[in-house]
Amino acid sequence: MKEQELRKILDKAAGLGASYADVRYQCHDSETITVENRTLKSYSSRRLSGFGFRVTTERATGYASTSNSDLESLENTLRNAMKAAKSFRSQRKPFTKTEVNKTEIKLSTKTDPVAVSPEEKVSVALDANKAAWVGDEIKSTITRLALSSDSRLFMSTEGAKVRVKTALVGLAHESVAKANGAMEKVGYSESMCAGFEFIKSKDWNSFAADLSRLAVEAAHSRTPAPGTYPAVIHPEVFGVVLHEAFGHASEGDLVFTGESVLHNRVGDRLASEAVTIIDEGSVKGGYFCPFDDEGTKKGRTVIVKDGLLKGYLHDRNSASEFSVESTGNGRAQDFENVPIVRQTNIYLQPRHHKFEELIEDIDSGIYVMGRGWTGGQVEPGMGTFTFGVGPSKVIRKGELAETVRGVVISGSILDTLKTVDAVGNDLKIVTSAFGACGKGGQRASVGLGGPHVRVREMTVGGR
Amino acid sequence: MHLAELAVKEASRKGATEAEAYVEKAKRIQVEFSGDIESFKTVESLGMNLRVTLGRKSAMYATSISDENEVETAAAKAINIAKVAPEDPDWKHMNKRFGKASAEGYYDKTLETLDYAEIVDALTSAANRMESYDARVKPTRGFFVTSISKASVANNYNESAQRRETHIVIWMRTKAEEAGMKSTGTEHQEARFWKEIAFEDLAVKAAEKATKFLRTKPIPSEKMPVILRNQVFANVLGVMLSGPLNADWVQKGRSPLSDKLGIQIASEKIDLIDDGIRRKGWHTKPFDDEGFPTQRTQVIVKGILRNYLYDSYTALKDNVESTGNAQRPYYWLAPQPAPNNLILKPGRTSPQDLIGETKRGIYVEDTIGEWLSNPVSGNLNATVTHGYLVENGGLTDPIKGVVISGNFYEILRDGVAVIGDDLRNSSQNYAPTVGLSQLTVVGK
Angle (CA) A285 A429 A295, round 5°: 65
Confirm or reject contact between A181 and chain B (CB < 8 A).
Answer: no
DSSP-derived 3-state class of residue A99: coil
Separation between Cα atoms, residue A224 and residue A179, nearest integer Å: 18
Task: Round the average pLDDT of chain B to a whole number and report it.
Answer: 94
pLDDT number for residue A462: 60
At residue B70, does pLDDT exceed 90?
Answer: no
Separation between Cα atoms, residue A357 and residue A395, nearest integer Å: 13
Amino acid identity at A130: K
Helix pair angle (A3-11, A71-86), 10° resolution:
40
Q: What is the pLDDT of residues A90-126, one digit of tens each?
A: 888 888 988 999 999 999 999 999 999 988 999 999 9
Q: What is the pLDDT of residues B295-311, one digit of tens each?
A: 999 999 999 999 999 99
Q: Which residues contact A4 (CB under 8 A, 6 or more apart)?
A: none
At residue A382, does pLDDT exceed 80?
Answer: no
Domain map (residue ranges) of chain A: 3-219, 227-462
Q: Is B14 exposed, middle or buried (0-12, 13-18, 19+ CB in 10 A)?
A: middle
Class assignment of domain A3-219? Answer: alpha beta
Confirm or reject contact between A254 and chain B (CB < 8 A).
Answer: yes
At residue A308, does pLDDT exceed 90?
Answer: yes
Longest dimension (CA), chain A: 73
String of DSSP letters for A194-212: S-THHHHTS-HHHHHHHHH
Confirm or reject contact between B334 and chain A (CB < 8 A).
Answer: yes
- Residues from chain A contacting residue B35 (CB–CB below 8 Å): 91, 257
Q: Which residues contact A64 (CB under 8 A, 6 or more apart)?
A: A52, A53, A77, A78, A80, A81, A83, A84, B41, B42, B43, B44
Separation between Cα atoms, residue A440 and residue A449, nearest integer Å: 23
Domains defined along chain B, listed by start: 3-212 (3.30.2290.10), 216-444 (no CATH)
In chain B, what percentage of residues exceed pLDDT 70? 100
- pLDDT: is A245 or A451 the higher one? A451
Please answer whether residues B125 and A88 qualify as being in contact, where contact means their C-beta atoms are separated by less than 8 angstroms.
no
Which residue on chain A is closest to B251 by alpha carbon?
Answer: A140
Separation between Cα atoms, residue B51 and residue B336, nearest integer Å: 13
Amino acid identity at A214: L
Please answer whether residues B40 and A53 qualify as being in contact, where contact means their C-beta atoms are separated by less than 8 angstroms.
no
Size of interface A-B (CB pairs under 8 A): 263
CB atoms within 10 A of CB B6: 18
- pLDDT: is B106 or B72 the higher one? B106
At residue A346, does pLDDT exceed 80?
Answer: yes
Which residue on chain A is closest to B335 by alpha carbon?
Answer: A42
Separation between Cα atoms, residue B82 and residue B79, nearest integer Å: 5
Q: What is the pLDDT of residues B116-146, one digit of tens each?
A: 999 999 999 999 999 999 999 999 999 999 9
Q: Is the ipTM of this complex over 0.85?
A: no
Probe site for chain B from A56, A88, A415 (most B CB atoms < 10 A): A88
pLDDT number for residue A318: 94
Q: Confidence class of residue A165 from pLDDT cuts 50, 70 and 90?
A: very high
Among residues A301, A409, A420, the alpha carbon closest in space to that of A353 is found at A420
Confirm or reject contact between A70 and chain B (CB < 8 A).
Answer: yes
Nearest to A382 among B184, B333, B442 (CB): B184
Smallest CA–CA distance, residue B343 to chain A, in Å, is 25
Separation between Cα atoms, residue B93 and residue B102, nearest integer Å: 26
- Residues from chain A contacting residue B226 (CB–CB below 8 Å): none
Confirm or reject contact between A71 and chain B (CB < 8 A).
Answer: no
pLDDT number for residue A206: 98
Q: What is the pLDDT of residues B371-413, one digit of tens each?
A: 888 898 898 989 999 999 999 999 999 999 898 989 999 999 9
Please answer whether residues A165 and A194 qualify as being in contact, where contact means their C-beta atoms are separated by less than 8 angstroms.
no
- Using CA atoms, how far residue B307 sits from A10, A72, A172, B297, in Å, is 56, 51, 31, 7
Q: Confidence class of residue B17 from pLDDT cuts 50, 70 and 90?
A: very high
Nearest to A381 among B85, B182, B405 (CB): B182
Smallest CA–CA distance, residue A388 to chain B, in Å, is 6
Q: What average pLDDT score do residues A34-50 get?
A: 88
- Residues from chain A contacting residue B78 (CB–CB below 8 Å): 45
Residues found in chain A: 463
In chain A, what percentage of residues exceed pLDDT 70? 99
Which residue on chain A is closest to B44 by alpha carbon?
Answer: A66
pLDDT number for residue A1: 61
At residue A67, does pLDDT exceed 80?
Answer: yes
Q: Which residues contact A203 (CB under 8 A, 6 or more apart)?
A: none
Distance of CA B46 to the CA centre of its chain: 23
Smallest CA–CA distance, residue A43 to chain B, in Å, is 6
Probe site for chain B from A257, A260, A368, A457 (most B CB atoms < 10 A): A257
pLDDT number for residue B1: 57
Q: What is the pLDDT of residues A442-462, one digit of tens each?
A: 889 999 999 999 999 998 876
Among residues A282, A319, A312, the alpha carbon closest in space to that of A297 is found at A282
Residues 142 to 161 of B: which have CB under 8 A from any A CB?
Answer: 143, 145
At residue B271, does pLDDT exceed 80?
Answer: yes
At residue A312, does pLDDT exceed 90?
Answer: yes
pLDDT number for residue A401: 97
Q: What is the pLDDT of residues B326-370, one digit of tens each?
A: 999 999 888 999 999 999 999 999 999 999 999 999 999 999 888
Q: A18: part of which helix (H) or strand (E)?
A: none
Confirm or reject contact between A182 and chain B (CB < 8 A).
Answer: yes
Probe site for chain A from B22, B29, B42 (most A CB atoms < 10 A): B42
- Residues from chain B contacting residue A225 (CB–CB below 8 Å): none
Separation between Cα atoms, residue B275 and residue B341, nearest integer Å: 5
- Residues from chain A contacting residue B45 (CB–CB below 8 Å): 50, 65-67, 336
